[in-house]
Amino acid sequence: MKRVLICDPLSEDGIRPLLDAEEIETVVQTSMSHEELLKAVKDVEAIIVRSQTQITEEVMKHAPQLKVIGRAGVGVDNIDVDAATEHGVIVVNAPDGNTISTAEHTMAMLMSLARNIPQAYHQLKQKRWERKKFVGVELKGKTLGIVGFGRIGREVAQRAKGHRMNVIAFDPFLNDEKAEKVGVQNGSLEEVLKAADFLTVHTPLIEKTKHLINKEAIELMKPGARILNCARGGIIEEDALLEAIQSGKIAGAALDVFEEEPATEHPLLDFPEVIATPHLGASTVEAQENVATDVSYDILELLRGGTVKNPVNLPSVSSEMMEKLSPYFRLSEQLGAFLSKVVEGTLERIHVYYSGELLDVDTMPLTRISVKGILKRHIGERVNDVNAFRTASDKGIEINEQKSTSTKGFTNLITVEIETDQEKRSIAGTLLNGLGARIVQLDHYSVDVVPEGHLIVIQHTDQPGAIGRVGSLLAGHDMNIATMQVGRTNLGGDAVMVLTVDREVEGKCREELAGIADIRKVKCLNL
Ligand SMILES: NC(=O)C1=CN([C@@H]2O[C@H](COP(=O)(O)OP(=O)(O)OC[C@H]3O[C@@H](n4cnc5c(N)ncnc54)[C@H](O)[C@@H]3O)[C@@H](O)[C@H]2O)C=CC1
Ligand SMILES: O=C(O)CCC(=O)C(=O)O
């Protein structure tokens, strides 16, 4: 039974796929103390959180079976994604499910800010009929500056245009052409700050966006402008905002998020110009069901050995591309595993070349799998798809991927080459139509080997009797030879034998093989 731990409140309908899965035990345990969390993760393979629970490296270290962390939402700033990558734990999120709710919440905040709705409501509830105090401003004709023009930023822009606002946006991935297509103006951060009557941020909280809207940025803004943050606390520097509200430079602010949450005692809340909600952007029935469903399906898929739709620490691959790549997954790993077992010395560089049908495909996922196959020999099961590149780079191993037009007559060809401090070895494999995977080249020898089972790779000098001696020795160990391939450079020169045998080769047998005259190296592998 695989255990999935849900640490924050999630929609029950949303997690139905997990609850219904027979092989999964879903445990819901929310509002845990840190110590309780460390205990609860002991034997879980998956953890699901919203924004409350912090999944730190310490938590991961207490979860030796952990394979996946699911974030039922967008922002992953409560998860140590770097540590997850290092520990080989995949992080998935649900980037689409709460876009509309958060954009709608931003609009609700924008209108409340323009018309002082929360403040007026509060007064009326205290039986005070205040009209003069709460004169607002229209949105029509005002400029909305948007920083971060991703999913939510774009939805906010559309809605603001519905209110006949002018929209100017800044995002490193936005250009004039894209902006024009959706009827907004593309600007630099400075231009957006200077133009905005209302400024709203919709970036993730990352190193580059931390305190992006700071004292200097606010100084560039129009006097009397208003600021909204329905993304993450910390994108706007709270001290700078407080000062600007105090001085009157900023006429008002609408905050759904704070640097530290819960933020019940925050000094900004003391200002009547500041309206706030307790991180409610995604809190709708629809959004909560969407994100819980998306993340549940991804986790289920992953625990069943499939691939996920929304990985955070792996590039996502479209289903069309996945269909093209998946037949090569096993071959890629087998080539890496094979070569890592025959090569000697300390790994320095790995090159992977693709040709034929693979020329026009994004082959990075295959390279990652080959690298995993190579590193497994040294690192064991700790290396996986998520941390293969990171692990290689931590060990100072360079990875190169190249496309090559040399197909050697095959419709597809993957060549893996390893450079160590002692030698350079290579292997090439192909998928033969209807016949499955084949190793077709080992170094410069052409071979035809099914990359499976118990294999013996012998480097020797091409001399009469070498093959016979190997055959007799194996027969003496009651070892049946299923297939044998021999390649040589020239008569009497370097040669290679690759044999498939019916069972694992024992140490004694390997030693005796290595003792045969003219045999230089013997490697035994199980693929
Ligand atoms: N209040 C709430 O309950 C919710 C808050 N969020 C927050 O909103 C953020 C945005 O969500 P989405 O739009 O779905 O994400 P997204 O990934 O679709 O868009 C983020 C955009 O920010 C841009 N960006 C990154 N660095 C930037 C920079 N330095 N300057 C300007 N733009 C930059 C990116 O290029 C991207 O286009 C999330 O990261 C999350 O933290 C999301 C959902 C709910
Ligand atoms: O889980 C929540 O309600 C917060 C949503 C959020 O902030 C996000 O998706 O980034």
Catalytic-residue membership of 510:
no
Query: Can you name the residues that pair with 495 across neighbouring β-strands?
Result: 460, 488
CA of 231 to the centre of ligand 1 (A): 7
Q: Is the pLDDT of residue 406 over 90?
A: no
- Which of the following is catalytic: 261, 301, 348, 512? 261
- Under the banding of pLDDT at 50, 70 and 90, the label for residue 59 is very high
Sheet holding 24-28, edge to edge: 24-28, 2-6, 46-49, 68-71, 90-93
Instruction: Report which ligand 1 atom has the smallest distance to the Cα of 283.
Output: 3
The whole-angstrom separation of Cα 265 and Cα 250 is 21
Return the best residue to mutate from 155, 203, 210, 288 for the ligand 1 pocket (most ligand atoms within 8 A of CB).
Answer: 203
Work out which ligand 2 atom sits closest to the CA atom of 98.
9
| Under 8 Å between Cβ of 355 and 407 | yes
Q: Which ligand is nearest to the CA of 232?
A: 1
Distance (angstroms) between ligand 1 centre and the Cα of 114 equals 23
* Residue 96 CA, closest ligand 1 atom number: 14
Is 2-97+286-303's fold the same as 99-276's? yes
106 alpha carbon, closest ligand: 1
Mean pLDDT of the chain: 94
Pocket test for ligand 2, best of 30, 51, 53 (most atoms within 8 A of CB): 51
Give the ligand at the shortest distance from the Cα of 229: 1
Q: CB within 6 Å of ligand 2 — which residues?
A: 50-51, 73-75, 98, 279, 281-283
Residue 489 has pLDDT above 90, yes or no: no
Q: From the CA of 269, how far away is ligand 2's center (Å)?
A: 21
The Å distance, Cα 89 to ligand 2 centre, comes to 21
- 104 Cα–ligand 2 center, Å: 14
Q: 317-441 architecture in CATH? A: 2-Layer Sandwich (3.30)
CB–CB of 76/36 below 8 Å? no
- Write down the CATH number for the domain with range 99-276: 3.40.50.720
Task: Reply yes or no on whether the pLDDT at 380 is more than 80.
Answer: no
Stretch 232-240: mean pLDDT, rounded? 98
What is the pLDDT confidence band of residue 418, given thresholds at 50, 70 and 90?
Answer: very high
Tokens of 281: 């952007």
pLDDT of residue 188: 96
> Encoding tokens for residue 78?
């409560």
Q: How many CB atoms lie within 10 A of CB 253?
A: 24
Q: Is the pLDDT of residue 319 over 80?
A: no
**CA nearest ligand 1 atom 39, residue:** 204
- Residue 74 Cα to chain centre, angstroms: 13
Q: Which ligand gives the minimal distance to the CA of 256?
A: 1
Decide: 18 and 300 in contact? Cβ < 8 Å: yes
- Distance (Å) from CA 277 to ligand 2 centroid: 13
Which parts of 315-363 fold into alpha helices (H)? 319-325, 329-342
Please tell me the predicted confidence (pLDDT) of residue 33: 96
Q: Residue 207 has what pLDDT?
A: 87
215: CA distance to ligand 2 center in Å?
27
Q: Which of 209, 158, 167 is nearest to 191 (CA)?
A: 167
Phi, psi (deg, nearest 5) at residue 382: -65, -20
Q: Which range (39-53, 80-94, 302-316) has the least confidence?
A: 302-316
Q: What is the reported pLDDT for 524?
A: 95
Question: pLDDT value at position 174?
Answer: 87
Mean pLDDT within 360-385: 88
Contact criterion met (CB below 8 Å) for 111 and 139: yes
**What pairing do the DSSP bridges indicate for beta strands 225-229 and 198-201?**
parallel
- 232 counts as catalytic: yes
Contact 501, 474 (CB under 8 A): yes
Given the candidates 3.30.70.260, 3.40.50.620, 3.30.43.10, 3.40.50.300, the CATH classification of the domain at 453-527 is 3.30.70.260
The domain made up of 2-97+286-303 is a member of CATH 3.40.50.720: yes
Q: Which ligand is nearest to the CA of 257?
A: 1
Pocket of ligand 2, candidates 52, 93, 229, 279: which has the most ligand atoms within 8 Å of its Cβ, to mutate?
279
Give catalytic status of residue 50 as yes or no: no
Per-domain boundaries in the chain: 2-97+286-303, 99-276, 317-441, 453-527
CA end-to-end distance (rounded Å), the chain: 28
The two three-digit tokens of residue 166, written as one number: 């002018």
Report the distance separating Cα 134 and Cα 27, nearest Å: 49
Rounded distance from Cα 411 to ligand 2 centre (Å): 47
Output phi, psi for 110, to 5 deg: -60, -45
Task: Provide the 10 A C-beta neighbour count for residue 39.
Answer: 11
Catalytic residue of the set 279, 368, 425, 460: 279
pLDDT of residue 85: 84
pTM as predicted: 0.78
Nearest to residue 118, comparing CAs of 287, 285, 269? 269
Binding-site residues, ligand 1, Cβ < 6 A: 73-75, 95, 98-99, 102, 147-153, 170-173, 202-205, 208-209, 212, 230-232, 256-257, 279, 281-282
Residue 2: which pLDDT band, with cuts at 50, 70 and 90? very high
